């Protein structure tokens, strides 16, 4: 059984050392020294030999405690170069303020079951003096080990502490040296970066005296203002500032010189060499030279003329859009009001009809209709009170008289009598419904409905006639037809699609615009289910809102509708159709086309997140995507990799072939990177010739990132010419990786990759380095 099996088997109660309270700072200090996995040094070997002889122990070590192991920088009496941290004595020792002394490990609950106690090297005695960094963080120990238990006096502790101070002094000197070396390197890098930025920045940069003279300007500023460098250096910023902007600029300058402002940013206008106006975004800071005790201004100048023009155009467009939205909203509001009025009228009509039906039922129950009973010859044998009221004849006046003489006008005598006689004489178990202008006793006529039915009572055939005055119903029918015509006329001339859908999602009404949108005509959509008309994705999006409308709630939402000519974005309102008893029997849909607004919003969002030259995600989008990638790594536990690339010798390409050709090189470089990685990997352009590639879902991040970097370098090297001009593209790549769940922040991971890229450049260029 090895020590891993021993620890994990559960047969022992091994107590692993806890992490130090400042574990992160402690490990950073250890990494800063750059001493792990380096050859032995004579100074430390002399100390461990001295300690072994002085304390008469077989083993003396200088142990450095890393994240998962303890590694021996110097060792006497032990062949192993490292052991796991979770079984180390030194892991416990770095937690103590002074020396950790274990006189008999077999009797110490922390170490009795330790594999290093029960197995080789059979530790029984241990004494470890912590070794600390410049800031006091314990990085390891000077320790003594013996297979025999023993005592350790206060004098021994003091002697061990003195020897530990010698070891500690070595590491602190190493830490000081590495810090100084790093500071020198960062200073040199900063100076180089400043010069490179000054000369090749995409913005204007200038050094200006406190009196306003241009002391140093870059080429971008000269191109921006139309002056040669020698011409611009002979002028002051006051001379080329637009007169209307000069006072505000000078006031801010005076505040900076007085110390009340550290810097300022101002949008202002310069006068171009050709007399035109150049809008710029100016950022000014005061710089004090410690060497020659002079003061000057550092000015960063961005040309925002195009942005100003776009802002004016956008303001105009926004005003137009707002006006159009206001107009459309007003039209829709008016339509909604008119539709609601028509709906209210319809509801009132429906209510009136409901009452009319109820009255009709009561009339039948109480024989309120004119009831006339006829014998086989058509003579009146019964005449109720309602008949007296409706027709004006008393019962006594009409009995045994032919009914047709009483109720059929003279103008209809011939055809009316003929039809009446045919029914009376020939009907056998049949019924008939006749509508005709009926005649009252006073000679007036009214629309009536006559229902004739044959009955046999006690073997005698009789005809029952129910006559109803239908004047009101005829008027109501005419009003309904008129209302429907007005509703159709109104909705068919509205710009937005409108429909009425029942509770089973079948169309009851669609206007002309709705039919045009969804391929119908002349009422062909009526009775169809929404699923037969609307595309599945749009209907799925609308389902939650339809459910709310069928629950009696008016809702508004935005959706996409697929039409043969393309996809439309819509703004839709669902209005519940609620009966008088509260039951929701469907809903009305009112939609508005908002495609133009959505297209503009999507275009602006894309431009804000992508580099205009290459079409790749820009720095802002890259940082957001990197944050999201790290978050997914923490959830999934899979590793990620970040490649930081720039073009070797890109400045020479720009200087010799021009910036326009340099832009073509950048586009070819971006396309080559995109073709070299998976579709799920993210290629971005940070600025200038700096690009990044984000890899995720990696089981072996370093191996995967190395393969990608090798593939990228090979593809880049295959580019031999661009638009007929021979080129030799080369790139330096820095790689930062996280194995498993990534614990670094996005900014930290980018900084690690950036540092690795500079190591690749220092190593000969057109290669990669992993940090």
Write the pLDDT tens digit of every residue in 444-465.
Answer: 888 888 777 777 766 677 788 7
Q: What is the band of 431 on the pLDDT scale with cuts at 50, 70, 90?
A: low
Dihedral of alpha carbons 387, 390, 394, 398, sign: negative
On the question of pLDDT at 691 being above 90, the answer is yes
On the question of pLDDT at 636 being above 60, the answer is yes
What pLDDT shows up at residue 30?
92
Number of other residues whose CB lies within 10 A of the CB of residue 224: 20
518-556 in b/e form (b: 16+ CB < 10 A) is bebeeeebeeeebeebbeeebbeebeebbebbbeeeebe
Q: What is the band of 414 on the pLDDT scale with cuts at 50, 70, 90?
A: low
What pLDDT shows up at residue 565?
67
d(C-alpha 749, C-alpha 626), whole Å: 9
What pLDDT shows up at residue 728?
86
Q: Under a CB-based contact definition with an 8 Å cutoff, are residues 603 and 348 in contact?
A: no
DSSP 213: B
Give the CA distances from residue 511 to residues 246, 565, 588, in Å, rounded to whole numbers and listed in that order: 62, 20, 11
Q: Which of 491, 539, 386, 494 is nearest to 448 (CA)?
A: 386
Q: What is the band of 76 on the pLDDT scale with cuts at 50, 70, 90?
A: very high
Cis amide leading into 121 (omega within 30):
yes
Q: What is the pLDDT of residues 188-220, one digit of tens each?
A: 666 666 667 677 777 889 999 999 899 999 888
Instruction: List the end-to-end C-alpha distance of the chain, in Å, as a whole number.
Output: 36
Q: What is the pLDDT of residues 580-621, one digit of tens each?
A: 888 998 999 988 777 777 777 777 767 677 888 998 999 999
On the question of pLDDT at 419 being above 70, the answer is no
On the question of pLDDT at 319 being above 60, the answer is yes
On the question of pLDDT at 59 being above 60, the answer is yes
DSSP 466: E
% the chain with pLDDT above 90: 45
Q: Which of 148-152, 176-180, 716-720 has the lowest mean pLDDT?
A: 176-180
Who has greater pLDDT, 39 or 404?
39
Mean pLDDT of the chain: 85
Who has greater pLDDT, 475 or 696?
696
Number of other residues whose CB lies within 10 A of the CB of residue 78: 16
Crossing angle between the packed helical segments 619-636 and 595-609, to the nearest 10 degrees: 90
% the chain with pLDDT above 70: 88
Q: What is the pLDDT of residues 292-303, one digit of tens each?
A: 677 889 999 998
The secondary structure of the chain in percent helix, strand, coil, rounded to multiples of 5, reads 45, 25, 25
On the question of pLDDT at 554 being above 90, the answer is yes
Who has greater pLDDT, 744 or 311?
744
| Highest averaged pLDDT of the listed ranges 281-290, 320-329, 429-438 | 281-290
* Residue 414, helix vs strand vs coil: helix
Q: What is the band of 5 on the pLDDT scale with cuts at 50, 70, 90?
A: very low
Q: Which of 219, 193, 185 is nearest to 205 (CA)?
A: 219
d(C-alpha 269, C-alpha 644), whole Å: 38
Q: What is the pLDDT of residues 485-532, one digit of tens each?
A: 666 666 666 667 888 999 899 998 888 888 877 777 778 889 989 888
What are the structure tokens assigned to 383, written together?
């005449």
d(C-alpha 407, C-alpha 419), whole Å: 14
Who has greater pLDDT, 441 or 130?
130
Who has greater pLDDT, 3 or 720?
720
What are the structure tokens assigned to 459, written together?
């073997």
Contacts 24+ apart (CB under 8 A), 580-586: 580/347, 580/350, 580/351, 580/354, 582/552, 584/503, 584/549, 584/550, 584/551, 584/552, 585/502, 585/503, 586/500, 586/501, 586/502, 586/503, 586/508, 586/550
Q: What is the band of 674 on the pLDDT scale with cuts at 50, 70, 90?
A: very high
Q: Which of 141-150, 371-380, 675-684, 711-720 has the lowest mean pLDDT?
A: 371-380
Give the CA distances from residue 226 to residues 263, 656, 660, in Å, rounded to whole numbers and listed in that order: 27, 21, 18
Q: What is the pLDDT of residues 556-566, one digit of tens each?
A: 988 877 766 66
Q: Which of 38-47, 127-136, 578-587 has the lowest mean pLDDT?
A: 578-587
Which residue segments constitute the domains of the chain, with CATH numbers given? 3-179 (3.30.450.40), 201-303 (3.30.450.20), 367-475 (3.30.450.20), 495-599 (3.30.450.20), 610-770 (3.30.70.270)
What pLDDT shows up at residue 244?
93
Q: Which residue has the tokens 């009709």?
A: 360
């Amino acid at each position: 059984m090895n020590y891993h099996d021993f620890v994990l088997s559960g047969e022992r109660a091994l107590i692993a050392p806890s992490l130090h309270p400042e574990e992160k700072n402690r490990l950073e200090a250890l990494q800063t020294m750059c001493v792990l996995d380096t050859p032995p040094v004579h100074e430390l070997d002399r100390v461990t030999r001295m300690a072994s002889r002085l304390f008469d122990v077989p083993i003396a070590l200088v142990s450095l405690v890393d994240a998962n192991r303890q590694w021996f920088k110097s060792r006497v009496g032990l062949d192993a170069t490292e052991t796991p941290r979770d079984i180390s004595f030194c892991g416990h020792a770095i937690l103590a303020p002074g020396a950790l002394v274990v006189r008999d490990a077999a009797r110490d609950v922390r170490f009795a079951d330790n594999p290093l106690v029960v197995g080789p090297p059979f530790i029984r005695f241990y004494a470890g003096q912590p070794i600390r960094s410049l800031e006091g963080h314990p990085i390891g120990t000077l320790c003594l080990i013996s297979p025999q238990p023993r005592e350790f006096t206060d004098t021994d502790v003091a002697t061990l502490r003195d020897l530990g101070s010698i070891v500690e002094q070595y590491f602190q000197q190493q830490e000081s040296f590495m810090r100084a070396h790093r500071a020198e390197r960062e200073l040199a890098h900063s100076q180089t970066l400043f010069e490179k930025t000054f000369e090749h920045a995409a913005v204007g940069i200038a050094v200006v005296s406190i009196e306003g003279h241009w002391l140093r300007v870059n080429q971008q500023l000269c191109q921006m203002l139309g002056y040669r460098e020698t011409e611009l250096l002979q002028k002051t910023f006051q001379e080329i500032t637009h007169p209307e902007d000069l006072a505000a600029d000078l006031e801010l300058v005076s505040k900076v010189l007085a110390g009340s402002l550290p810097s300022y940013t101002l949008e202002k206008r310069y006068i171009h060499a050709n007399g035109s106006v150049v809008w710029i975004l100016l950022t000014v800071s005061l710089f004090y030279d410690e060497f020659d005790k002079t003061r000057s201004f550092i000015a960063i100048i961005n040309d925002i003329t195009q942005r100003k023009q776009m802002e004016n155009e956008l303001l105009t467009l926004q005003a137009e859009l707002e006006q159009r939205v206001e107009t459309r909203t007003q039209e829709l509001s008016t339509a909604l009001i008119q539709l609601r009025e028509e709906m209210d009228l319809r509801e009132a009509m429906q209510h009136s009809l409901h009452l009319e039906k109820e009255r009709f039922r009561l009339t039948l129950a109480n024989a309120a209709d004119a009831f006339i009973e006829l014998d086989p010859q058509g003579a009146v044998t019964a005449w109720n009170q309602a008949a007296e009221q409706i027709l004006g004849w008393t019962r006594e006046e009409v009995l045994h008289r032919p009914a047709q003489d009483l109720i059929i006008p003279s103008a209809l005598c011939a055809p009316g009598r003929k039809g009446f006689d045919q029914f009376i004489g020939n009907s056998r178990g049949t019924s008939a419904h006749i509508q005709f202008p009926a005649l009252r006793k006073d000679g007036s006529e009214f629309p009536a409905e006559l229902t004739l039915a044959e009955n046999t009572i006690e073997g005698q055939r009789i005809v029952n006639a129910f006559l109803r005055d239908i004047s009101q119903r005829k008027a109501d029918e005419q009003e309904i037809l008129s209302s429907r015509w007005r509703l159709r006329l109104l909705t068919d001339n509205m710009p937005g699609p409108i429909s009425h859908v029942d509770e089973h999602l079948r169309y009851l009404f669609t206007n002309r615009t709705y039919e045009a949108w969804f391929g119908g005509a002349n009422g062909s959509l009526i009775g169809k289910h929404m699923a037969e008309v609307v595309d599945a994705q749009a209907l799925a999006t609308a389902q939650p809102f339809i459910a709310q409308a069928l629950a009696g709630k008016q809702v508004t939402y935005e959706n996409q509708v697929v039409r043969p000519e393309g996809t439309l974005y819509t703004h839709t309102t669902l209005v519940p159709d609620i009966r008088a008893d509260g039951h929701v029997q469907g809903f009305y849909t009112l939609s508005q086309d908002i495609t133009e607004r959505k297209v503009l919003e999507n275009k602006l969002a894309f431009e804000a997140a992508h580099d205009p030259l290459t079409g790749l995600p820009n720095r802002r989008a890259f940082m957001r995507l990197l944050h999201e990638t790290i978050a997914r790594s923490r959830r999934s536990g899979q590793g990620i990799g970040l490649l930081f690339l720039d073009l070797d010798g890109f400045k020479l390409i720009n200087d010799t072939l021009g910036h326009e050709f340099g832009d073509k090189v950048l586009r070819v470089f971006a396309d080559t990177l995109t073709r070299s990685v998976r579709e799920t990997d993210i290629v971005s352009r940070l600025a200038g010739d700096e690009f990044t590639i984000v890899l995720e879902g990696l089981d072996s991040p370093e191996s995967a990132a190395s393969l990608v970097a090798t593939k990228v370098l090979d593809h880049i090297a295959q580019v031999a010419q661009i638009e007929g001009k021979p080129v030799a593209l080369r790139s330096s790549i820095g790689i930062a990786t996280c194995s498993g769940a990534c614990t670094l922040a996005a900014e930290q991971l980018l900084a690690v990759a950036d540092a690795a890229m500079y190591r690749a450049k220092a190593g000969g260029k057109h290669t990669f380095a992993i940090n």
